[in-house]
Amino acid sequence: MAFNPDFDLFQLPEEYRELRDSIRGLAEQQIAPYAAAVDADERFPDEALTALNDSGFNAIHVGEAYGGQGADSLAAVIVIEEVARVCGASSLIPAVNKLGTMGLILSGSEELKQQVLPDIANGAMASYALTEREAGSDAGGMKTKAVHDGDHWVLNGSKCFITNGGKSTWYTVMAVTDPEAGANGISAFMVHKDDPGFRVGGLEHKLGIKGSPTAELYFEDCQIPADRIIGAQGTGFKTALATLDHTRPTIGAQALGIAQGAFDAAVEYVKERKQFGKPIAAFQNTQFMLADMKMKIDAARLMIYTAASNAERGEAEGGEKLGLLAAGSKTFASDIAMQVTTDAVQLLGGYGYTRDFPVERMMRDAKITQIYEGTNQVCRMVMGRQILT
């Protein structure tokens, strides 16, 4: 972000402000009208996918060499924030496309990148498969295995809570290749939806983000070509952690957008709603609640943008510890999202508890941001360790 001496404010450079205007217009016109129905019917937001694919916002992070826009991390979080402002489920299209390909971008061979990334840039989706029933926060306890067999790897096991499972074409999958090596025995692979032995199981029935399917994946003697391993054998766990350092700010951006959408709806409502002969916006209690909500959102935005901008620098170039900023910004923004959306429901009173207004959906959608891509408790552990290192 740049310092503007004329206004004594930090402002985004013009190209990012133009990007915000563009994605906001698209979100309001082509995604927002369907958000309530997507939630109520628990259906995938096909309208959002079409709009994002047509505009190139579906995977803005993919490099130009692979047919993408090559946008940086700050641009990616702005896109996710603006989509989440109107529909949390739809924001998982660009967010999870980045999550599902970040390990490949960081550690994959050029040949594998050329195989996968143009497909994503052209509208295919990617997902990230790390979690298992008995290995959630303890990812090192995973049981899914991969065995090298000639010119193939053979995978057996299952993954759960996979965002956009069944809708994606490509899956980054973590599996044990050396059971005796602990975390250093985990490797990362790219699995295609048509690979023999791969199938998608049933969907979870969730509190929020109901338009984004959350599925279980099964690998039953699933054969994939040997060159679909990401990086060297045994580096998968490191790839997984590095991925999260880059993508936790995107979940923070989702939380931020949801909070901003709820705040906007609350402001509009309190200006119109009258009690005791005047708009409830005239009451000091209402103004104090709005002021607190605004301060929290603005603080979260600065943390998210700082973490995203730092991803392009890294410690080698004088940046802060990426993991510390990523975990902190995601945790703070998601906690704020729950506080702000809950206050928005309170400001709307009984109407806030109904589906006639979007704030109840936003409150439900916000909750997951405190849980996935590292629970906020785990993120605090990550921060504590890096602070003390």
Count of C-beta atoms within a 10 Å radius of residue 61: 25
pTM: 0.95
Catalytic site residue 373? yes
CA angle 105, 107, 112 (to 5 degrees): 65
- Is CATH 2.40.100.10 the right assignment for the domain spanning 237-387? no
- What pLDDT, on the 0 to 100 scale, is given for residue 49? 98
Q: Do domains 126-234 and 237-387 have the same CATH topology?
A: no
Give the pLDDT confidence score for residue 137 in this predicted structure. 84
Residue 145: helix, strand or coil by DSSP?
strand
> For 170-210, what is each residue's pLDDT tens digit?
999 999 999 999 999 999 999 999 999 999 999 999 999 99
- Top CATH class of 2-121 equals mainly alpha
Structure tokens at 214: 């959350």
Position 319 scores a pLDDT of 52
Phi, psi of 127 (to 5 degrees): -130, 170
Residue 238 CB partners (closer than 8 Å, separation 6+)? none
Nearest of 211, 217, 215 to residue 203 by alpha carbon? 215
φ, ψ dihedrals at 191, nearest 5°:
-110, 135
Write down the catalytic residue from 81, 82, 360, 373. 373
Residues comprising the chain, all counted:
389
Q: What is the mean pLDDT of each run of 10 residues along the chain (389 residues)?
A: 47 94 98 98 98 97 97 97 98 98 98 98 98 88 96 98 98 97 96 98 96 98 98 96 96 98 98 96 98 98 95 60 94 98 98 98 98 97 93
Contacts of 25 by beta carbon, 8 Å cutoff, 6+ apart: none
3-state secondary structure of 157: strand
Domain residue limits, the chain: 2-121, 126-234, 237-387
3-state secondary structure of 57: coil
**Quick one: pLDDT at residue 314?**
61
Q: What is the pLDDT of residue 320?
A: 65
Q: Which fold has domain 126-234?
A: Butyryl-CoA Dehydrogenase, subunit A; domain 2 (2.40.110)
Structure tokens at 252: 């923070």
Bridge partners (DSSP) listed for residue 135: 132
Q: DSSP label at 321?
A: P
Neighbours of 57 (CB within 10 A): 25
The pLDDT assigned to 138 comes to 86
Residue 268 CA to residue 246 CA, distance in Å, equals 35
